[in-house]
Amino acid sequence: MGIILYDLAGEDPSLRFSPYCWRTRLALAHKGLEVETIPWRFTEKDVIAPSMQGRVPVIVDGGRWISDSWAIATYLELTYPDNPTLFSGMAGLALSRLYSAHADILVGTIFPFIALDIFANLHEKDSQYFRSSREARVGKPLEAFVAGRQDRLAPFRESLAPFRLVLKTQPFFGGEQPLYADYALFGPFQWARCTSSFALLEGTDPMHAWFERMLDLFDGLGRNAPAYNRA
Amino acid sequence: MGIILYDLAGEDPSLRFSPYCWRTRLALAHKGLEVETIPWRFTEKDVIAPSMQGRVPVIVDGGRWISDSWAIATYLELTYPDNPTLFSGMAGLALSRLYSAHADILVGTIFPFIALDIFANLHEKDSQYFRSSREARVGKPLEAFVAGRQDRLAPFRESLAPFRLVLKTQPFFGGEQPLYADYALFGPFQWARCTSSFALLEGTDPMHAWFERMLDLFDGLGRNAPAYNRA
């Protein structure tokens, strides 16, 4: 039996948009592991109760429950050492943490651009939970939180300067081929792509070109994923 | 014969303050290589002319001239493969680029805090060159450029959030021991420490604790370096 992944879904169960679950999707694909994804909503805490916490990604592998995208990645690396490496040794693992940390911060930086778009894609059972929990966190209505997002775009893009410097000399953050560092960073941008039409990156940005390469990996796993209704 | 390093110096030839030269100093120490440092000033372009460019660090190793801190680090790794590794393989090297890129950006971010302090430490032969070249770059007098620096401290510290997340779980960016990633990031903070009394980091900041660990490496190579006159 393959690995099971509880994967955050929208009203449309095929819409999978969690920045953290996307890391895990690509990490599993990199390892060449079979996975069955199960659509999960924010309010279905009981379904993942055996993981002893309430957030996805959660995987179940041969009866073992593992949560947290970083913990899942290191679990996969240790449990399947003969499959392609996600980190390239202990030093690579240590050096990869900054990418994961950056991606965590990016989730917070990108949220004020797409919060309402996420809300519009949720299953109705999640809507009230999402609005009230997120509004408590940011201290204002989601509408006010997102207002003026166009004006915040320039400093956001400016904050990506270090990544652009790296991409001047190599196609992926892992070098010639992607590593977990790439999957960690892919998550927040795929989260935005799957839920919103708002263009975070300019078409001429090297980060945009990198993201396009990431979308093509594993037979277009990211590119072919259902996104919000673009009608 | 050991390696020669042309090392940016102030009026006091023992004051060595280049953020890029500091990377190289620690990389050489990590590799356990003997080095003779030669004080160099901005205007002594002729001295390093064999390197085919005008900036330090420049090293000379057995007649070979190598410039650019990243190129020097990769040269050392390839030339002295049996000495302790700076990168831990090709993946580690690829993953380390973001640290170097971040440090390059940090030089630009820190400069508006310490530009006048650097100026005050220069050899008189460099003063006019430094002021005119930097004022042309930033588009205003250094005094105006630095004004209000206290107000810019909070966003600067906020920008270090990803680094702090990493240091929650490991003492160095390279893991249990420092790697080139650490030396790259050390440079800009040591540059500030050697030239300025301005406190970029709070004493309670995990980045401050990391910097203190870095200062202790190699028998206090960074800590014992002469700094500006603190009288």
Please indicate, yes or no, if residue B84 is contained in any of the structural domains: no
Give CA–CA dist A63/A40, Å, rounded.
Answer: 19
A161 & A56 share domain: no
Contacts 24+ apart (CB under 8 A), B123-130: B123/B9, B123/B10, B123/B11, B123/B41, B124/B11, B125/B41, B125/B43, B126/B41, B126/B42, B126/B43, B129/B42, B129/B43, B130/B42
The per-residue pLDDT for B231 is: 39
Please answer yes or no on whether B172 and A94 come within 8 Å at the CB atom: yes
Report the residue from A105, A166, A179 with minimal CB separation from B91: A179
Q: Does the beta carbon of A113 lie under 8 angstroms from any beta carbon of chain B?
A: no
A28 & A111 share domain: no
The per-residue pLDDT for B19 is: 98
Give CA–CA dist A211/A104, Å, rounded.
Answer: 17
What's B136's domain CATH number?
A: 1.20.1050.10
Predicted TM-score (pTM) of the model is 0.96
Domain interval for residue B211: 89-220
* A vs B: CB pairs below 8 A: 108
* The domain boundary residue, chosen from B28, B49, B79: B79
The per-residue pLDDT for B65 is: 98
Please answer yes or no on whether B98 and A94 come within 8 Å at the CB atom: no
Nearest Cα of chain A lies from the Cα of B163 at a distance, in angstroms, of: 7
A72 & A103 share domain: no
Cis preceding-peptide flag for A57 (omega within 30 of 0): yes
* The domain boundary residue, chosen from A79, A110, A143: A79
A188 & A151 share domain: yes
B60 & B106 share domain: no
Please indicate, yes or no, if residue A145 is contained in any of the structural domains: yes
Residues of chain A contacting B181 with CB distance shorter than 8 Å: 95, 98
A211 & A118 share domain: yes
Please answer yes or no on whether A92 and B95 come within 8 Å at the CB atom: yes
* The domain boundary residue, chosen from A27, A50, A79: A79
A107 & A18 share domain: no
B114 & B181 share domain: yes
A163 & A55 share domain: no
B116 & B200 share domain: yes
Please indicate, yes or no, if residue B52 is contained in any of the structural domains: yes
In the block, tokens 């879904």 appear at A9
Please answer yes or no on whether A105 and B174 come within 8 Å at the CB atom: no
Please indicate, yes or no, if residue B230 is contained in any of the structural domains: no
User: Can you list the alpha helix ranges (DSSP code H) found in chain B?
Assistant: 19-30, 69-79, 89-121, 124-138, 142-146, 153-158, 161-167, 180-195, 206-220
Please answer yes or no on whether A98 and B162 come within 8 Å at the CB atom: yes
Give CA–CA dist B192/B199, Å, rounded.
Answer: 9
- Please tell me the total count of domains within chain B: 2
B103 & B58 share domain: no
Q: Which residues of chain A have pLDDT under 50?
A: 231
| CA closest to A171 among chain B residues | B94
The per-residue pLDDT for A228 is: 81
| Rounded mean pLDDT for each run of 10 residues along chain B, 231 residues in total | 94 97 98 98 97 98 98 98 98 98 98 97 96 97 97 97 98 98 98 96 98 98 86 39
User: Which residues on neighbouring strands pair with residue B39, listed in sequence order?
Assistant: B7
Give CA–CA dist A20/A107, Å, rounded.
Answer: 9
The per-residue pLDDT for B228 is: 82
Please answer yes or no on whether A90 and B172 come within 8 Å at the CB atom: no
Question: What is the 8-class DSSP label of residue A225?
Answer: S
Please indicate, yes or no, if residue A161 is contained in any of the structural domains: yes
B46 & B65 share domain: yes
